[in-house]
Every structure is written in C-alpha cells, then in structure tokens.
Amino acid sequence: MDGVSRVLTDTRSPRPGAGKLYVVATPIGNLEDITVRALRVLSEVTLIACEDTRHTRKLLTHFQINTPQTSYYREKEAQKTGKIIRVLLDGRDVALVSDAGVPCISDPGFVLVNEALAEGICVVPIPGPCALTTAISMAGLKADQFLFCGFLPAKGSERRKVLHSLAIQPALLVFYESPHRLRASLADCLAVLGDRQAVVCKELTKIYEQCLCGSLSQMLASLEGDAARGEFVVLVEGAIVQEAPVEGQDLQGLLAWYHQQSGLSLKDSVAKIAVDLGLPRAKVYEEALQVWGK
C-alpha cells in the first residue's frame, strides 16, 4: 500500500452513517499517564482493535473498562482490516491501540488507518504517551530537527549501510532498539558516525527507568558486561558540518579542509565534494586517498 495515491479525504466531511476510528495512545509504562479522554473513548467505542489483547486487557481491567477487543497485530493486518472496516461502515465506532504508546509509529495500524481514510471514515487521533517524544524531551540534545529511524536493520551490513546514509544528516537521530542488538547498534554508530554525544533511554516511565548520557564510546564502555534488558530509545546528535569554502578552492585544498575540520568520513566527504564541484566521484576519491594517507 506504500506509495499508492488515494482520493482527497477531508475528515471534517466523513462518510454519512459510518462510525469513527479513534487512534488512541496508551501508556508506555506508567498507567497514570493515560489521558481522561482516552479512558472515555475506550469505554464508549463498540470495539477495541489491539496489538495484543492480553496486554490491553490488563490496562482495561485496571480502569474497569469492559469494551470487547479484537487482535490486530502486523501479521494479521491484511486479514483483519476488512472486518474492522465493515464494523465502521455499519456505523459503529472502533478504537485502535498498540501495546504501548501511539499506534502506527513502529507499531501496527497504518494499513487500517489508510483504508479507513480511503473509505471516507473519520479518523480521530487521541494523543498521549510516546517513547519517541518522551526520550527527546529529556535527552538534552538539540532537537530543532530530528529524524526518527524506527528500528535499524537487524543485519549488521544493512544497519551500517543505513547509518552511512545518515552520516551527514544534521538532525538529531532517534531509533528504537531491542536488548540483544543494543551493543552492536551502538558499536556501528560509533564506527560509522564517529564518537558523537548520545543518550540511551531504557524502560521509560517504568520502575527501572534509566537514561545514559555521554559519548558513544562511553556508552559502550558502560554497557560492557551488562546484560541489557528492557526496551530502548537511542538518540545520537546530528552531524556538525561547517560550510566548506568552494569558490576558488582547489580540489586538494578542499579535501584537506574536509579531512581536518568537517568530521565526515572519507566516503561522505568524497560524495559531497563531487556534487559541489561537479567532478567525477572516482577522480575525487583518487585524490582523497592521498590526502587521507590511505
């Protein structure tokens, strides 16, 4: 469904007789973070579509909500979307929730929301807790711009390829990571991005909440021998790229400036200089090897 164009939809003019799809944020740990509005919606809708009914049932039981549930996880999206759309077209309201945080952000829901909009069904966001924004708010890193990368690829070579594509990105980089891949991902960040300032957040809003702040090398040293558990949000500061002088600058001089002051890798420096000067990348790379002493 990615990249497919659709008819212009205005949520202020919903399909007559159809119910509403509420996209409801739920706590990422501390149940006190749920909003009054979310509780009202969850108690009033006809059906709650859950990433995991067992997980959501604990939340509903705590707040004495008895609304029926149906499972809606990634492997079942294609199978369940049509059924939920029919409930909505029948005039009944449905709430979409994930296990924690905001649906559709590295969680199931995109397919259902997209289909609902295509059918002219009113989609109503119920904002609330989100691990992404919670981590950014306490990281102490500049976040005028940030780039959320979701989960980095599990395979090391693919992960490093993605990181190389982000190396000259000035925005704060944010991604989620699982415990068993945390050290490998941080090591790849250090190798590809350099020893930047970073923050690793663990178990946000929960009893064992912990945030490590420092350089990537310090993070790795701190985690040495530590059995990582929980769910992690990793934030890495964006590239600090000074504007290089281009006009009247010879190639060797420009390469020397990038090598000494830009903080970029040889590969990224070559790519940028080739574009800026309109030169073949192979020629720039050959000259760069001499400057970098490789």
The domain ranges of the chain are 20-129, 132-236, 251-292
Report pLDDT for 294.
62
More confident residue, 263 or 290: 290
pLDDT for residue 244: 53
Q: Per-residue confidence at 13, pLDDT binned at 50, 70, 90?
A: confident
178-187, 191-200, 242-251, 269-278, range with the lowest pLDDT:
242-251
Residue 207 has φ and ψ, to the nearest 5°, of -60, -40
The pLDDT confidence band at residue 1, using thresholds 50, 70 and 90, is: very low
Tokens 């950014």 correspond to 136
Contact predicate 233/131, CB 8 Å: yes
Least confident of 66-80, 88-102, 264-278: 264-278
Q: Which option is the CATH number for 20-129: 3.90.550.10, 3.40.50.300, 3.40.1010.10, 1.10.3720.10?
A: 3.40.1010.10
Torsion of CA 9, 12, 18, 22, to 10 degrees: 90
- What are the pLDDT digits (tens) for 79-138? 999 999 999 999 999 999 999 999 999 999 999 999 999 999 999 999 999 999 999 999
Banded pLDDT at 243 (limits 50, 70, 90): low
Residue 268 CA to residue 87 CA, distance in Å, equals 51
pLDDT confidence band for 259 (50 / 70 / 90) = confident
Collect all residues with Cβ–Cβ distance below 8 Å to 23 and sequence separation of at least 6. 95, 96, 102, 103, 104, 109, 113, 123, 124, 125, 126
CATH architecture for segment(s) 132-236: 2-Layer Sandwich (3.30)
Q: What local confidence, expressed as pLDDT, does residue 273 receive? A: 81
The average pLDDT across 191-200 equals 93
Q: What pLDDT, on a 0 to 100 scale, did the predictor assign at position 283?
A: 87
* Mean model confidence pLDDT for the chain: 89
Q: Please give the model's pTM, rounded to 2 decimal places.
A: 0.80
